[in-house]
Amino acid sequence: MIKKISFIGPILILFAIAYPISSFVAYKKSDYQKEIILNEKLETQEYFAILQIDKIELKAELFPQNSQENQVDKNIFIHSSSTFPGDTTSNLILASHSGNGKNAYFQNLYKLNVNDEVMLYYNNTLWIYEIKEIEYQDKTGKLYIKEDYEEMITLITCTKNDSTKQTIYYAALKNSQKL
């Protein structure tokens, strides 16, 4: 199944827009103290999940969609059409910058390959995903997101050394464990 995600104007403008969802639970930093000590980039504000990709040494907080921190210019952006793990089907759609600078959280995604792992700490559970496919789409203001897996995470960023393309990483749930 393919889901069409509509982007109004430049991609960055849409990524900066977040639609409120009231069902999120915010966890304080102390709830994940053990998990976040390794990365000094993490802030002291409230968040509700942590994205971790060991291969590229990424560990970053995810903020609720209704938070002012859920903006591509500040953090990793959670797209409004995301569904979260724990539902019967889920696709958490995340986007971030890939250039240089302190907010270019996805700058090293290009180093990922099929079968690499992406971890998500959410709702007192560790969700482990495996990258199944890497796709490139033209920057047209719209992306067509596949939903080929029952529970998945989708990572979106600009393509390294090609300003005309977006790179999309599709990862399927491999395992989960309660914390």
According to the model, what pLDDT value does residue 102 have?
A: 86
CA distance 154 to 175: 16
> 126 forms bridges with which residues in the sheet?
121, 177
Query: What is the tens place of the pLDDT at every residue in 7-46?
Result: 433 333 333 323 222 222 333 333 333 333 333 444 445 7
Which residue carries 């990424």 as its tokens? Answer: 58
Listed in sequence order, the residues at least 6 apart from 78 whose beta carbon sits closer than 8 Å to its beta carbon are 18, 62, 63, 64, 65, 70, 92, 93, 94
- C-alpha span between 78 and 166 (Å, rounded): 16
Cβ neighbours, 10 Å, residue 148: 12
Which pTM value belongs to this model?
0.76
d(CA 38, CA 56): 14
CA-based nearest residue to 160, from 90, 104, 78: 104
Which residue range forms the structural domain that includes residue 165? 2-178
pLDDT of residue 56: 97
Q: What is the CATH number of the domain that holds 128?
A: 2.40.260.10
Instruction: State how many domains the chain has.
Output: 1
> Between these two residues, 145 and 25, which has the higher pLDDT value?
145
Whole-number Å distance between alpha carbons of 14 and 80:
10
3-state secondary structure of 24: coil
Segment 67-116, tens digit of pLDDT = 999 999 999 999 999 999 986 799 999 999 998 888 899 999 999 999 99
Classified as helix, coil or strand, 131 is strand
* Rounded Cα gap, residues 25 and 171, in angstroms: 24
